[in-house]
């Protein structure tokens, strides 16, 4: 049986790798272009795309950090209990979000 946290960790690492490549490609394309981001209509698109990929990369890094925290909590014997109230996190929630830190009541 596959460990959901390890699967989530692998997925996050794969996403970070792919987004990093994409970000590097966007940056390289903008350097190769002589577009003036401020005055060239296409330049705004390049800047937007770069910021969009950067935001997705930040989100993927936060996802990985959440998984790493969940793995540490599991090692400490605290995985599956809410960080706020201490009650158990429902198995359905953990199945949907293996790195969940809070029960559904506290998440609301």
Q: Kindly report, residue by residue over 68-86, the tens digit of the pLDDT.
A: 999 999 999 999 999 999 9
Specify if 96 maps to a domain. no
Specify if 88 maps to a domain. no
* Number of domains, the chain: 1
- Domain range enclosing 14: 4-79
C-alpha closest to that of 73 among 95, 106, 99, 91: 99
Specify if 16 maps to a domain. yes
Specify if 85 maps to a domain. no
C-alpha closest to that of 101 among 75, 76, 67, 77: 67
Specify if 42 maps to a domain. yes
Q: What is the mean pLDDT of the chain?
A: 89
- Statement: the pTM of the whole predicted model exceeds 0.95: no
Specify if 12 maps to a domain. yes
Phi then psi dihedrals of residue 55, to 5 deg: -65, -40
Helix (H, G, I), strand (E, B) or coil at 84: coil
Specify if 30 maps to a domain. yes
DSSP 21: H
């Amino acid at each position: 049986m596959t460990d959901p946290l390890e699967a989530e960790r692998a997925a996050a690492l794969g996403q970070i790798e792919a987004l990093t490549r994409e970000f590097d490609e966007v940056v390289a394309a903008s350097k190769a272009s002589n577009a003036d981001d401020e005055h060239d209509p296409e330049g705004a698109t390049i800047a937007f795309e770069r910021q969009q990929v950067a935001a997705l990369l930040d989100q993927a890094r936060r996802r990985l950090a959440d998984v790493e925290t969940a793995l540490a909590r599991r090692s400490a014997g605290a995985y599956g209990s809410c960080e706020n109230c201490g009650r158990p996190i429902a198995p359905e929630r953990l199945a949907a979000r293996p790195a969940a830190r809070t029960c559904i009541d506290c998440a609301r």
